[in-house]
Structure 1
Amino acid sequence: MMIRRWMAIGLGVMTLLSGCGSKSTYFPLEKGRTWSYVMRYERPDGKTQEVMQIRTLGKADYTDAKGASETAYVRRTSSGTDYYLSVKPEGVYRVAKRVVVQFDPVADAKPRLVMPMGKNLRIGYSWAMETQPMLIQWQGTFAEANGSVKPFDMTYQVAALDDTIDTPAGHFTHCIRIEGEGKITIYANPASGYQEVLINQREWYAPGVGLVRLERDEPLNMDIIKGGKAVMQLVDYSD
C-alpha cells in the first residue's frame, strides 16, 4: 500500500499487552472490523488526496514459502489487495499478499514484522523491513538513468508508548508511536555520482483501534530529483 506498507499493519504492562491471538490491542484483526482513511500526498507534480478502506475478513488458508499449508488473518483494502497476517506472542507478521489479479496469495519469502507485542513492545525495540520510495520523482532524463525504483530496508523503532493524537475520527490517548528511518541510494549526475536520500516514517496506533495516523517524509528538492510528503489519517472505523 501507499497503501503498500500502510496497509500491512499503556495502562500497566499487562493491560497494554493483554491482547493475544486476534485480539492484539494495537492491531485488531477480528472479522468484521472496518477502517476508513484519508490520504494526502504532496508530490513534485502537485497535491492529491484519496480515501482508502480496510476491512477484516477473518481467517483463511495460504501456502507458506516452504510449501506448508498455514492459516492467517486477512485484511482487504479498497483496492482489492489482501494482506495475510499471523499473530505470534512476540508480534504481528505479514506472511502473504494477494492482489486483485491473483487467484491465490503469494507468501512472503520471510515474515515481515508489522507490530511488536509481548516483551518486544517496549521503547527502543527495533527491527528492519523492506520498503520502497513512494513520493520521489526524478526529473527529465534522470528517471531513465536511475531506472525502476528499487526497494530498500527501513529500520523501525518503538519510540513512545503513551502518545496522544487527534484525527478526524476522534481523540486518541495511550498511543504507540513507531518511527522508521531508511536510506536510498540514487544516481544524481556524473559530477555528483551516487547520493543517499533519507526517508522517515511515523505511525501511531491507538489501543483497541489500530493505526490512526501515518506520516511519510521523503525530503529532497534538487533540479534533478524531488521528494514529497504523505499523511494518512483515520476518519472513521467500526468494530
Structure 2
Amino acid sequence: MSRHLLLCAPLALLAACSGRDLGNEWFPLRVGDEQTMSVSYQMDEPREPEEWVMRVDEPVVFQDQPVAVRHHSAGVSYYLRADDQGVRRIATRTDIDSEPTADAEPVWVLRAPYQVGTEWTTVTVPYLLQRRNEHPRDLKHTHKAQMTWRIEAVDDMVTLADGSAHQPCLRVVGQARLNLYTDPVNGFTDVPLISREWYCKGQGLVKLEREEQVPAGFMTGGTLRAEQLR
C-alpha cells in the first residue's frame, strides 16, 4: 500500500464517523451532545456546590483509530473507544496540553456484557479525602487504590431532582480501600472508597455518588453527589 493511502486511511475513517454516535446505547457519544451535572457535597469541612458541563467534541484519530472525545469543564478531555467489549478510556488531554497522553492501559468505563455480575477493575485516587493539618492537603496526588466495579442492576429507575424518572438504567458500584494512618487511637484504618453510577439507556451517565468517610482525626472526608440537570 502506498504511503499516501496509509496516511489517508485514518482520515477516511474519521470522516465516516463524523455525525454518528461513537458510543453505545448505555453510553452515547454523539458529537455536539452537552450535559450539565449539578454537584453537591456533604463534607467534614464545607464545600460549595458546583456544576459540571460535559460535551462531546468532534472525533479524532488516535493510534490510527477514530475515537470519541468527551470534554469536562474542569479542563480535561477524555478519549473514549466503544466496541463489543465495552467503553474504555485510552487517553486524556488537559486544556493546556497540545497532545493527548495515552493511558498505560485502557481504563474501563463500562464493561460488557451489560448484565448483573459483570466486573472489572480500575485504578482510582481519593477525590474527597484530605489531610486536616498537613500540606499538600489532597491525597489524590500521593495515593492510589484498585477499585473493583460490578454491575448490580440493569433495570433500575432513577428519579432526578426535577421529578423526571428514567428507566432502564444500569447501576454500577465500585469499591476500594485505602490503608491510612487516621489518628493515634485508631492507628492505620482501611478507609472505604465507594462509587455508585447510574447509566440510563439512550442517555448515559445521569447520576453518581462518591463516598469517602473517614474517622475523625488527622483526615477529613465526605460524600459527593452529582445528577443530570439538562
Q: Would the TM-score normalized by the shorter structure come out above 0.5?
A: yes
| Amino acid in structure 2 at the alignment position of 1:92 | V
Q: Deviations over 1:41-63 (max 9, x none)?
A: 22222132111111111310224
Residue 233 (structure 1) aligns with: 227
Shift in CA distance, 174/72, structure 1 to aligned 2, threshold 3 Å: same
1:152 aligns with 2:142: no
Shift of 1:189: 4.7
SS in 2 for 1:31: coil
Shift in CA distance, 188/147, structure 1 to aligned 2, threshold 3 Å: farther
Identity %: 27
- 1:81 pairs with 54, 76, 79, which one? 76
| Amino acid in structure 2 at the alignment position of 1:194 | F
Which protein has greater RCO, CA pairs closer than 8 Å, 6+ apart? 1
- Separation of aligned partners in 1, 2:40 and 2:94: 23
- Separation of aligned partners in 1, 2:204 and 2:140: 36
The 8 Å contact of residues 171 and 196 in structure 2, kept in 1 or not, is answered as yes
Q: Which runs of 5+ in 2 are unaligned?
A: 1-19
1:71 aligns with 2:66: yes
| Amino acid in structure 2 at the alignment position of 1:219 | Q
Residue 33 (structure 1) aligns with: 33
Residue 3 (structure 1) aligns with: none
Q: Deviations over 1:151-176 (max 9, x none)?
A: 21111000000011111462101111
The 8 Å contact of residues 44 and 137 in structure 1, kept in 2 or not, is answered as no
- Separation of aligned partners in 2, 1:97 and 1:192: 38
Aligned CA-pair RMSD: 2.2
- 1:140 pairs with 126, 133, 140, which one? 133
| Amino acid in structure 2 at the alignment position of 1:136 | L
1:223 aligns with 2:217: yes
Alignment of 1:178-189 (within 5 A): 178-189=172-183
Q: Deviations over 1:2-28 (max 9, x none)?
A: xxxxxxxxxxxxxxxxxx972501100
- 1:122 pairs with 112, 115, 118, which one? 115
How many corresponding residue pairs? 209
- 1:196 pairs with 190, 193, 198, which one? 190
The 8 Å contact of residues 183 and 217 in structure 2, kept in 1 or not, is answered as no
Shift of 1:83: 0.4
Q: Which runs of 5+ in 1 are unaligned?
A: 1-19, 64-68
Shift in CA distance, 141/83, structure 1 to aligned 2, threshold 3 Å: closer
| Amino acid in structure 2 at the alignment position of 1:213 | K
The 8 Å contact of residues 125 and 140 in structure 2, kept in 1 or not, is answered as no
The 8 Å contact of residues 138 and 226 in structure 1, kept in 2 or not, is answered as yes
Residue 173 (structure 1) aligns with: 167
SS in 2 for 1:28: coil
The 8 Å contact of residues 167 and 234 in structure 1, kept in 2 or not, is answered as yes
